[in-house]
Every structure is written in C-alpha cells, then in structure tokens.
C-alpha cells in the first residue's frame, strides 16, 4: 500500500475509520471474497468439506445394501425375511433406547460455573446475523440486541445481507441498535446460503467468542454472559455451545403447540441427555456460540 501511494505522489500513511477501511478492502476484490466465502474451507482442510459428496464406491456399496435389503424382504425364504425384519427392528429400537437413555441422563444436575460479573473479565463478543428479506423484523431484532445484558463496548454485531436486499438494509439503518454494529454486504456469488453469509462476516469478527442468531430470535438477556462463563470454565477442547431454543407462540393453535412440544423435548431433554452422556448432538442452526481462534 505504501509503495502504491508513493508512486502516485501521495503520503505513505492515511487516517481513516475501521469501517471505511474494511469497506475498501471488500470492494478491492469482491470476486475473491465471494470465492473464499464459498470454497475457502475446502482449500484449508478438504476433510471438513462435503462439497464432493459421496464417492462412487460409497454410492455403489449403499445401492447394493439397499437392493439386498429390499430383495430379502420379498425373498421366498422365511428365515431370510425374518433376519431382514429383525435387522430393521434392531436399528429402530436402537434409536428408541438412545432416546430413553438420554431422557434419563437429562435429570443429572450440572454444577453452575462462577459467573463472570466483572466487565474486565468479559471478552469481546461478536454476534453474526445472516438476513435476507427481513425488513419486517428489523425493529424487533434491534430491540432484542439492545436487551442483551452485556457491555455494549464489548459487543461486535454484524448484520450480513445480500447485495440486492435494499429493503432490509434501509430497515436496519432506520431501526439500528444502540450496540456497535456493522452492515456487511455479501458480494454476488453462489451458493446464496446462510453458511456463505456467515463465512463473509467471519474474517471481520473482532470477538474471541462468536454467537450466531436468526432474524426472528429473541435471545434471553443474559445468554452471552452465561456462554462466556461456560467457555471460561470449560477446557479448550470445548469449541461450541448450543443454547436451548423455545417456541414462544405455542398457545396459538394445536400445530404451534405440537411444534413447541417438539422443541422442548429436543433441547430441554434429548440434547441435554446426550451432552450428559458425552455424545455428539446436532446444532439447532441458531443461538450457537463458538470459541474463536486467534
């Protein structure tokens, strides 16, 4: 940068704001930023990328197994059909027993970590929200962020929107939260997905902890403090925390009631039991908290 400025007869140094500098960096090569957001993981570690899908050998083995299983169910030999039925029943009951064990394990009490009440102990927290055509909830989203019980000076909020989503950008500017925030424009590219939008924002994250929320989320006010406390008390191998999700319109009708019941069973019972047993669990796609790598 200094060489180019000197060649143009300009001073070697310039003063600007962080936002304007980052915007200039993004505009310098938007095509590269789009490629990195979609394919950088594959170049860093191919084992972490599933873009290639199943290999031919894996597809062939899967097809042979499915064809053999289907054929055995209709085979004229009784014992062959019985063996296939028992195999399928065993797989089904494994899932049933896993849920029963997880339900029992969910009653285990976990000791609470000492909360980090001092602002000096709290790390900078980056909040990333990937939005598309969400102008209608911009005001609600800003209020939800402002209700978070966390020092505003240690918040780093990133709204990621697509380049053609001008209504959402205008709504965010009209109803901006009081916390430090930035509207990140994702460059044109494919696939236009939430993971790609998150990848666009991650190089700009300032926090050592990162939270991912959706536009319709209303996070509990002390969620960030509790997550920071758990990360501080956990070993470095703990890289992610999943907050429990709850449906807030369960009383609307019978369908929303079933939806709320399903979420309560999954996040407050099943996932809690899997965590108590030290088993892997699925992330909910929102209210995820990650430990950053610096």
- Nearest to 36, CA basis, from 203, 212, 208: 203
Half-sphere exposure at residue 273, Cβ-oriented, CA atoms within 13 angstroms: 16
- Nearest to 33, CA basis, from 157, 195, 203: 203
Segment 10-23 shows an average pLDDT of 78
Q: Which tokens sit at 50? A: 């599933």
Q: Which tokens sit at 45? A: 């570690």
In CATH, which of 3.40.50.620, 3.40.50.970, 3.90.550.10, 3.90.320.10 is domain 125-291? Answer: 3.90.550.10
- Nearest to 239, CA basis, from 278, 291, 167: 291
| Beta carbons within 8 Å of 293's beta carbon, 6+ residues apart | none
Segment 229-252 shows an average pLDDT of 89
Encode pLDDT of 81-107 as tens digits: 777 788 889 989 999 999 999 998 888
Encode pLDDT of 212-226 as tens digits: 999 889 999 999 999
- Write down how long the chain is: 294
Encode pLDDT of 104-159 as tens digits: 888 877 666 677 767 888 999 999 999 999 999 999 999 999 999 999 999 999 99
Residue 56 confidence (pLDDT): 77
Segment 266-275 shows an average pLDDT of 89
Residue 111 confidence (pLDDT): 62
Q: Using CA atoms, how far apart are residues 18 and 155, in angstroms rounded to an integer?
A: 15
Q: Which tokens sit at 72? A: 């055995």
Residue 52 confidence (pLDDT): 65
Q: Cα 164 to the chain's mean position, in Å?
A: 23
Question: Token match 């939008």: residue?
Answer: 197
On the question of pLDDT at 294 being above 70, the answer is no
Encode pLDDT of 52-64 as tens digits: 666 778 888 888 8
Q: Using CA atoms, how far apart are residues 60 and 81, in angstroms rounded to an integer?
A: 23
Segment 29-52 shows an average pLDDT of 78
The secondary structure of the chain, three-state, reads: CHHHHHHCCCCCCCCCCHHHHHHHHHHHCHHHHHHHHHHHHHHHCHHHCCCCCCCHHHHHHHHHHHHHHHHHHCCCCHHHHHHHHHHHHHHHHHHHHHHHHHHHHCCCCCCCCCCCCCCCCCCCEEEEEECCCCHHHHHHHHHHHHCCCCCHHHEEEEEEEECCCHHHHHHHHHCCCCCCEEEEEECCCCCCCHHHHHHHHHHHCCCCEEEEECCCCCCCCCHHHHHHHHHHHCCCCCCEEECCCCCCCCCCCHHHHHHHHHHHHHHHHHHHHHHHCCCCCCCCCCCEEEECCC
pLDDT, mean over the chain:
85
- Nearest to 163, CA basis, from 127, 200, 128, 137: 200
Asked whether the CA dihedral 93, 98, 102, 104 is positive or negative, the reply is positive
Residue 146 confidence (pLDDT): 93
Segment 252-275 shows an average pLDDT of 90
pTM recorded for the entire structure: 0.80
């Amino acid at each position: 940068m200094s060489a180019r400025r000197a060649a143009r007869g300009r001073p070697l140094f310039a003063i600007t704001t962080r936002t304007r500098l980052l915007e200039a960096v993004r505009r310098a090569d938007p095509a590269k930023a789009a490629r990195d957001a979609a394919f950088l993981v594959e170049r860093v570690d191919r084992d972490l990328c599933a873009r290639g899908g199943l290999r031919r050998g894996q597809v062939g083995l899967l097809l042979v197994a499915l064809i053999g299983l289907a054929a055995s169910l209709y085979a004229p030999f009784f014992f062959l059909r019985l063996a296939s039925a028992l195999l399928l029943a065993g797989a089904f009951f494994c899932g049933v027993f896993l849920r029963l064990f997880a339900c029992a394990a969910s009653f285990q009490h976990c000791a609470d970590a000492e909360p980090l009440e001092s602002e000096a102990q709290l790390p900078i927290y980056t909040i990333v929200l990937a939005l598309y055509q969400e102008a209608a909830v911009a005001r609600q989203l800003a209020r939800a962020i402002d209700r978070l019980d966390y020092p505003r000076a240690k918040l780093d909020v990133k709204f990621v929107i697509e380049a053609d989503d001008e209504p959402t950008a205008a709504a965010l500017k009209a109803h901006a939260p009081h916390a430090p925030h930035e509207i990140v424009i994702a460059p044109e590219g494919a696939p236009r997905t939430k993971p790609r939008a998150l990848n666009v924002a991650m190089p700009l994250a300032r926090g050592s902890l990162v939270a991912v929320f959706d536009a319709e989320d209303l996070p509990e006010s002390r969620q960030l403090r509790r997550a920071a406390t758990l990360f501080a008390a956990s070993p470095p191998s703990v890289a992610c925390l999943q907050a429990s999700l709850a449906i807030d319109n369960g009383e609307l009708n019978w369908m929303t009631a079933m939806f709320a019941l399903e979420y309560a069973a999954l996040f407050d019972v099943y996932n809690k039991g899997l965590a108590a047993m030290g088993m892997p669990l699925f992330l909910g796609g929102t209210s995820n908290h990650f430990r950053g790598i610096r």
